[in-house]
Structure 1
Amino acid sequence: AGFFTDEPQYYRWGTPYTPAAEAEFEKDGEDIREGLIWLFVHDERGYRFREKYYKTLNKLYVENFYKKIYDWCGAHNCKLTGHSVEEVALYTQMWGGAAVMPSYEYEDIPGMDCLGRFCCTELPVKQVANAAEQLGKKRVLTETFGCSGYDVTPKELKSVAEMQYFGGVNVMCQHLYPYSVAGRGRIDHPPVFGPHGNWNEGFKAFNDYFARLSYIVANTEEKAKIGVIHPMRDIWLDYVRSEDYESVKRTEEDFNEFLRVLRKNGVEYQLIDERILERHGKAEGKNLRVGNCVYDTVIVPKMRNISGTTYEILKQYGGKMCVLQTPVFLDGVREKLSFESNVT
């Protein structure tokens, strides 16, 4: 037994704010109101404030929503699953909580969403599956097939699901099984799974196939030896809600192209979130450990900003490292950082 949380978010329709953040800044003797203007402009002078602001909001979001429910579920013998809003891209994560990977620590079954009949990008799949592997969570859920339409075929749905299972998902939550299709129920992001569906009688074979695949994927481990630092903190420097994607287009495109090159060349890798690295990571000689996962190669993609904790861990790490672009900001402050590639 347990609970499913669907698309929680701090505020997707504008620049988020909460008075709770004021207290976090006051701990460091700062007045949050003096820096709010930087959330609406592109200016390096505001990078330090932006980094701290979105780090604070992400912390408050994760610890005051996910962690509280997760702890309650643990105390009452039930489980928490579900997914945040719009995990599909870097910029859309700014709509919900400034990063999705940290929330997976506080779900018994970390989850994602995949809308439509076309395969989503690999980013949301890798984010949830890699965090689950690092944090020792066996089950990984996808809420999938919503918005595919009444005319979608099982063959199309099979392709959508297999792409996600290939990335590490192993629990399927089909959207949706309605109590009724009366009124607005007819247009609630079909298809529907149940007696109202077009192919309900023959759908058992589909479900049996994915039940077996779920068992196989859930009982295997991904032994990727390459860890890629997730560039979410780069987005914090320049994201402006009124401009949305355009404000961070270059970072978004660079990272998507990088992932495409890895995929095209058959490179097995896992994404490393900097908050998860801070809480569960350490250098072990020529290896980098993040929870249950150990990497002998670390890739720093094109990113300008990196956290001080990540920087210190990488300085202690003695293994192979490929730096595609040396960051020039440390926690949003311009610094001359001294790590570079030792492999090509």
Structure 2
Amino acid sequence: MDRPPGFDDFAAPPSACRQMMFWSWNGAMTRERISEMLEQFAARGIGGVFVHARPGLVTEYLSEEWWQLWSHALAECRRLGLECHIYDEHAFPSAFAGGHVMANRPHVGAGRLSCVPGDRPMPLGGSLVATVEPEGAGAPLRLVHVPEAASERMGGRPFVDILNPEATEEFLAVTHDEYARRYASAFGTTVKYVFTDEPDLRGGDGFHWTTLLETEFRREHGYDLRERLLDLGFCTPASPEVRFDYWSTVNRLFIESFARPVYEWCAQHGLAFTGHYWDHTWPSPARQPSNMALLRWMQVPGIDLLGFQFDHRDREKSAKCLVYAKEVASVANQLGCERVLCEGYGGRGYDMALRDFKPLTDYLLANGVNLNVPHLSHVSLAGVRKHEWPQTLSDHASWWDEYRLVADHEARLTYAACPGRTRNRVLLLHPTTSAWLHYVPASFDATASTRLDTAWMEALERSQRTLIAALNDRQVDFDLGDEFVLAEWASSADGRLTVGRCSYKRSIVPEMTENLLASTVDVLRAYLEAGGILFALGETPSRVNGRRSDAVRALAEAHPQRWIRLASRDELARRLRAEVPPRIAAADGGPLPRDLYVLRRERDDGTAVLVIANPFEQDVDVRVRVEGERLFVLDTANGTILPQASEPCEGGQVARLRLGPSGCALWAAVPAGAGRPDGTARDVLAAEAPTGAPFLAPRPSPSGDTRPKPPCVADASPRPVRFGAPVVERMQPNVLPLDYGDLTVGGATQAGIAVTAADTEVWRRHKFEQNAWLGVQYRRAYLDRTFPPDSGFSV
């Protein structure tokens, strides 16, 4: 065997395995610019686009002109062999349809409950709900309902109440149904995904609060929340149960009113719901009570991990990223989702170089995230647009002509690592509902006891993040278990806990787990009664559904040989490595060097694909033991596949792993007799597709097909890299940027004013809050605005 089976297109992966660019339509769009950029994307190995209306868009959103331009983009994508996907909003957060939802249904706006001291003025539009005097406050405090304010970022209107089903109904009608009416014939082929971007609660400095929420709370829990506001916002003996009830209702409404209806709409139309919620600050109930519970309602669950959040030169800064990478990958593993999306790279700044892309790419792939949507490719950098979330992956960047190196490396990693399954054998409970009992919004953080709650939340985040990193550094293969996912998908038999498609040999209750759902107690009881082994750190959970309860303690005492309390993370890691031996380890059986990330995907024929990423600034040289009879190294730089030198050992092979800073190895470990019975290669991206979404599994061209491949694939062969001094070529007439100047507006002159300050001053003098193109234009609100004859300015 000179190469493993199932890798025929490794050198030139198809469009489906390639990056899908976050394409920022942020100017006056033209067919010529659309065609020009799509041709550039294809030439640089990008597989498709998400058409993303963005601040600065001059063309009216959802107008007939918009649809004509979108149709042109779709036709051009078909011509070039690219995919063309839907972004569901004008800017972000999703769900307001560029202002159309609130314009059509003005009663579905969001609101919050804020705490206002007596010596401060009432917020604009606020109405008094209650006056309370919590212990330690020193004076009465007003609890005020504050409607969401209108914002230029929301088309000059308030944001919607994401918990209101009417808002989602209008959102789907205005946006999704209009795409379906025009492009249904392309759904599942050229158009596969609908991307949603950070739809969230609007609590601000308080609690999300609407009449609908009050009504639903009373119906669900049988008491009036207004009578328990002291318990909700401050610290009383009854606070945990009231807070649990509040977040339980919010979580249910978020799923029932938004996540599930959009998921079902996509399923009915042959599309995959994807994108991400506010995932990067677990635990964050003020944004969404449970990120994982929402991700369950996506055919392609996703996160965002932007360039400023991950730094390959700074381990500690990047540590939080692993929590939400594990959240999304765990849901995907459990529900059988082959693709996992990330909106990546963005916000790093114009100094981001080509070498800065690869570490994040490798980190994502090694953590199971295999559909990269690079943020951001701006159509225009005119005016204020150049300041909007730089950098840009477009012809404005000096390295753009060399970007294919990044795109092909990632495409080959994705092609190899998508098929098969990640079979993790340990489940770590994610204590999200414990955080619900302690969350206090900023305006309520007014007493010593509430400040203790805030400190407890910070300690919980730190504890879970540290445990996740410790298990990763010891090559323990594990998933996170969200309690709501467990309630729906968990069962037990023969000492194993099954969650969807995953089967776990060991389970962990982490430290600081104070609360469990009643359904989780039932799941753990069934698991222990079936012979399962559970490791517990810290104190035994003392609450069930927010109420004091001895149920968990009694369960632990009933199974003393299977509910095993451990004293430390180190002891936990040692027990897990002994009882669930890692499938990849150092040659002596010990852990690999710290901060390596390993993905193991097992294909139907038993071949295991290993992605081993070293995203930080360290050198690695270690002998590694892996399962398998033969090893192959897949070179993502040139598309070659060669045998990897190795020595047989008990149960596998030992090979030398050498990685420089930001290095990544891609290996295939082939067992004896691997390959399909008929001797043909396994179809890449054809097996393991999620139920009901066969379009996610495009089949490669039949062997021997000589049809021309699209540009993004056809030019994937290695090519030389130019070294030496760069060649500078003027593409357009030169301009002379100025930082300061003299501004005359409204009859007054300001000398030596900074250009950015002058820009703001001009817009304010013309009755705008700021530069209008930083906002979202509802219909033609900016274009049709009139000004008096003496308006204008000079510089």
Query: Are residues 44 and 173 of structure 1, via their aligned partners in 2, closer, same or farther at CA, if it must alter by over 3 Å?
Result: farther
| Equivalent residue number for residue 257 of structure 2 | 64
Which protein shows a greater Rg?
A: 2
Between the aligned partners of 1:250 and 1:42, the Cα distance in structure 2 is 18
Residue 202 of structure 1 and its aligned partner are, at CA, apart by 0.3
- State the match for 1:285 in structure 2: 494
Counterparts of 1:43 and 1:282, CA distance in 2: 37
Aligned match of 2:766: none
CA contact (8 A) 1:152 1:191 kept: yes
Contact 1:41 1:240 in 2 (8 A): yes
In structure 2, what residue type is equivalent to 1:275?
F
User: How far apart, in 2, do the equivalents of 1:38 and 1:188 lie?
Assistant: 42
**Post-superposition shift, 1:32?**
2.2
1:210 equivalent in alignment to 2:388? no
CA distance in 2, matches of 1:217, 1:12: 40
CA distance in 2 between counterparts of 1:135 and 1:126 reads: 14
Partner of 2:514: 304
User: How far does the alpha carbon of each residue in 1:114-141 deviate from its partner, in whole angstroms, 9 at most, with x for none?
Assistant: 1234254201110001101101111100
Question: In the alignment, does 2:559 pair up with 1:339?
Answer: no
Deviation track 1:234-264 (CA, whole Å, cap 9, x = no partner) reads 1100011115964512211221221222122
Which residue in 1 is equivalent to 2:535?
A: 322
In structure 1, which of residues 14, 34, 40 is the aligned counterpart of residue 233 of structure 2?
40
* Range that drifts further, 177-186 or 307-316: 177-186
d(CA) in 2 for partners of 1:108 and 1:214? 18
Mapped pair 1:81 → 2:294: no
Q: Find the partner of 1:116 among 294, 297, 307.
A: 307
Greater shift, 267-276 or 74-83, is seen at: 74-83
- 1:141 is aligned to 341
Question: Aligned with 2:535: secondary structure?
Answer: strand
1:250 is paired with a residue whose SS is helix
Contact 1:89 1:123 in 2 (8 A): no
Q: Is the 8 A contact 2:393 2:400 kept in 1?
A: yes
2:463 matched to 1:254? yes
After superposition, what is the alpha-carbon deviation per residue over 1:159-204, rounded to whole angstroms, capped at 9, x for unaligned?
Answer: 1121121110000000001121112220111111111122110001
For the 8 Å contact 2:217–2:224, the answer to whether it is kept is no
Distance 2:394 2:196 in 1: 22
Query: 2:211 — aligned with what?
Result: 19
Selected match of 2:243 from 50, 53, 57? 50
Partner of 1:95: 286
Once the two structures are superposed, what CA deviation does each residue of 1:89-114 show, in whole Å capped at 9, x if it has no partner? 323x3232111101112212111011
Using a 3 Å threshold, how does the CA distance of structure 1 residues 299 and 208 change in structure 2: closer, same or farther? same
Distance in 2 between residues matched to 1:17 and 1:147, nearest whole Å? 32
Check whether the contact 2:203–2:209 (CA below 8 A) recurs between aligned residues: no
1:250-293: CA deviations, max 9, x gaps?
21122122122212222111001000000111222311111111
Match of 1:294 among 503, 508, 515: 503
Deviations 1:302-327 (A, max 9, x none): 11111111011101112110011310
Match of 2:371 in 1: 171
Tell me the distance in 2 between the aligned counterparts of 1:110 and 1:67: 13
Contact 1:141–1:171 (Cα < 8 Å) also in 2: yes
Q: 1:286 to 1:335 in 2, by over 3 A?
A: same
AA of the residue aligned to 1:163: Y
Q: RMSD across aligned C-alpha pairs, in angstroms?
A: 1.8
Deviations 1:188-226 (A, max 9, x none): 111111111221100011111111111222213211110
Counterpart of 1:194 in 2: which secondary structure? coil
Spell out the pairing of 1:174-193 with structure 2 (5 A cutoff): 174-193=374-393
| C-alpha distance in 2 between matches for 1:291 and 1:298 | 15
Moved more, 279-288 or 124-133: 279-288
Q: Give the Cα–Cα distance (whole angstroms) in 1 for the partners of residues 460 and 516 of structure 2.
A: 14
More strand by share: 2
Deviates more, 1:4-13 or 1:229-238: 4-13
Q: 66-75 vs 288-297, which deviates more?
A: 66-75
Secondary structure of 2:389's aligned partner: coil
* 1: CA distance, partners of 2:432 / 2:244: 11
List structure 1 segments (4+ residues) > 4 angstroms apart after TM superposition.
Answer: none
Q: Is 1:276 equivalent to 2:485 in the alignment?
A: yes
What is the aligned partner in structure 2 of residue 4 from structure 1?
195
CA 155–46 in structure 1, closer or farther in 2 if over 3 Å, else same: same
Question: 1: distance between equivalents of 2:505 and 2:241?
Answer: 32
SS in 2 for 1:131: helix
Offset of residue 12 of structure 1: 4.9
Structure 2: give runs of 5+ residues left out of the alignment: 1-190, 312-317, 446-452, 557-562, 567-795
Distance 1:28 1:94 in 2: 19
- Aligned: 1:29 with 2:222: yes
Give the Å deviation of 1:343. Answer: 7.1
1:52, 1:201 → 2: CA distance? 55
| 1:332 aligned partner, one-letter code | G
CA distance in 1, matches of 2:237, 2:545: 12
Distance 1:152 1:37, change over 3 A: same
Aligned residues: 342
Contact 1:115 1:144 in 2 (8 A): yes
- Does the 8 Å contact 1:320/1:343 carry over to 2? no
CA contact (8 A) 1:285 1:319 kept: yes
- Confirm or deny: 8 A CA contact 1:178 1:192 kept in the other structure: yes
CA distance in structure 1 between the partners assigned to 2:237 and 2:478 by the alignment: 32
Q: Residues 79 and 108 of structure 1 are in contact (CA less than 8 Å); yes or no, is this contact kept in structure 2?
A: yes
Any idea what SS the aligned residue of 1:35 has?
helix
Specify the code of the residue in structure 1 equivalent to 2:349: G
Question: 1:194/1:54 Cα in 2 relative to 1: closer, same or farther (>3 Å)?
Answer: same
Match of 2:419 in 1: 219
- Equivalent residue letter for 2:546: G
Residues 1:241 and 2:441 are matched in the alignment: yes
- Separation (CA, whole Å) in 2 of partners of 1:253 and 1:81: 28
Task: Choose 138-147 or 214-223, whichever is displaced more.
Answer: 214-223
Tell me, yes or no, if the aligned pair for 1:226 and 1:295 is still in contact at 8 Å: yes
CA distance in structure 2 between the partners assigned to 1:163 and 1:12 by the alignment: 33
Cα–Cα, structure 1 residues 104 and 198, in superposed 2: closer, same or farther, change >3 Å?
same
Q: Distance in 2 between matches of 1:126 and 1:285?
A: 26
Give 1:29 deviation, angstroms. Answer: 2.3
